[in-house]
Structure 1
Amino acid sequence: MKIFRGLLALLLLSVASEAQAQKFGWVDTEFIMAKMPEYAKAQLELNTFSETWQKEIEAQKKDLDKMYRNYSAEEVVLTEPMKKKRQDEILKKEQDIKAYQNKQFGYEGQIFKKRQELNKPVQDKVFEAVEKVAKKKQLAVLFDKSGDLTMLYTNPAHDYTEFVLEELGLGAEDRNQPGPKGTVKTVAPPQTPVDPNFESDSGAPEPAANGKPALKPKTARPSKKNLK
């Protein structure tokens, strides 16, 4: 067991030293694609397909609901063979709706295939830009922060997302610039009342124009008498 642990320690040290010799980084492909007009267009088209298929399903469900209501209203006057026939029709309608729903929105259904079809050109463009950045920056490894790999901590110093955006022509002009400042409001400082018995530099209280003690924004300095 001790030999095994020793070998494992040596292996980890070897991997760590090799990793230090290689440059690596990470990108956020979801953030990148969200900035791409092609991706937004693909999502809009995908939503159109989804809404169309969903409306078709809702229309079929309305037809099924109508079949239920008609059967309930006429059940008392139907013969057993007629009841059986109507029940079979309702059951088939239910199965048809479920089958159509699975076909469009189920696992590997039409919506899944259409998403792959529409997103593939965008993903290929991103991967091409990622490859160019990796070669320019001489990176051995570039991780995808939004992928299946769990990244518990990411150092911003190794974030190459902005470089990929620049490669795609989507770089931000204000990158690494401070955000806009808010409106600056000027607040007047509180005025400090002057003690009428406190002498100023002239040796006497400073009366205001109305005969009341003057208010000064700053505390009066000690008189020369107090400095003696």
Structure 2
Amino acid sequence: MKKILLICCFTLISGLSAFAQRFAYVDSEYILKHIPEYLSAQKQLDALSQQWQKEVDGRFADVEKMYKAYQADQVLLTDEMRKRRENEIVEREKEAKEFQRQKFGFEGELYQQRVKLVKPIQERVAKAVEAVAENAGLDMVFDKNSNVIMLYASLRLDKSNDVITRLGYKPGTLAK
């Protein structure tokens, strides 16, 4: 009988302490849209991406032209000339793929630029979230835009505007 009573008390205390935890969430996308430096960094990254994509497209277009010219001339070429042109096409295609990988691949130049421009901003936001959470006595803060599934969230738990204010910006007006 004592064991059952002890288990019931423990369950009740555990349940009450679970209700005492304080949760909130932030919308990182919303916060970042209020930071002019982030918007500027995104514009720079978009411009770089477009420039490099044009270069990649141009290189693959050159490969396509070489291949079409090869197909048109193929009947007139000797075996040695055919092999040489095929090798040139293959080599040009490899170079185009390597260029694409260098710019857009895992840890490529675009990724490195993103880290250089965006990471300091993300670190400032993380510190601001931590400060808001500590000031509000929160136990956990979720990001609305992460992979954590949030089926419901009361607006009173949204601390995004507090984070924007903590960063020194005015919430409610998106930076242009």
TM normalised by structure 2 equals 0.83
Aligned residues of 1:29 and 1:145 also touching (Cα < 8 A): yes
SS where residue 132 of structure 1 aligns?
helix
Which residue pairs with 1:78 in the alignment? 77
Match of 1:212 in 2: none
Task: State how far apart, in whole Å, the 2-side matches of 1:63 and 1:173 are.
Answer: 49
Quick one: distance in 2 between partners of 1:153 and 1:10?
A: 30
Q: Which amino acid aligns with 2:138?
A: L
Q: CA deviation at 1:13?
A: 5.5
Change (3 A) 1:13 1:107: farther
Q: 1:160 to 1:70 in 2, by over 3 A?
A: same
| Greater relative contact order, per chain length (Cα 8 Å cut-off, separation 6+) | 2
Q: 2:129 is aligned with what amino acid?
A: V
**Paired position in structure 2 for 1:20:** 19
Structure 1 unmatched runs, 5+:
1-6, 175-228
Tell me which moved more, 39-48 or 90-99: 90-99
The equivalent of 1:57 in structure 2 is 56
Identity over aligned pairs, percent: 38
- Contact 1:163–1:171 under 8 Å retained in 2: no
1:163 is aligned with what amino acid? D
> How many angstroms apart in 1 are the aligned matches of 2:96 and 2:10?
58
Match of 1:207 in 2: none
Q: What stretches of structure 2 of length at least 5 have no aligned partner? A: 1-6
What is the root-mean-square deviation of aligned Cα atoms in Å? 2.3
**Partner in structure 1 of residue 145 of structure 2:** 146
By how many angstroms is 1:78 displaced? 1.1
The count of corresponding residues between Structure 1 and Structure 2 is: 167
Q: Look up the match of 1:179.
A: none
- Give the CA deviation at 1:168: 1.7
Equivalence for 2:102: 103
- Superposed CA offset, 1:15-61 (max 9, x none): 54223223221111111001110110110111121112111112212
Specify the structure having the higher radius of gyration (Cα). Answer: 1
- The residue correspondences of 1:33-48 to structure 2 (distance < 5 A) are 33-48=32-47
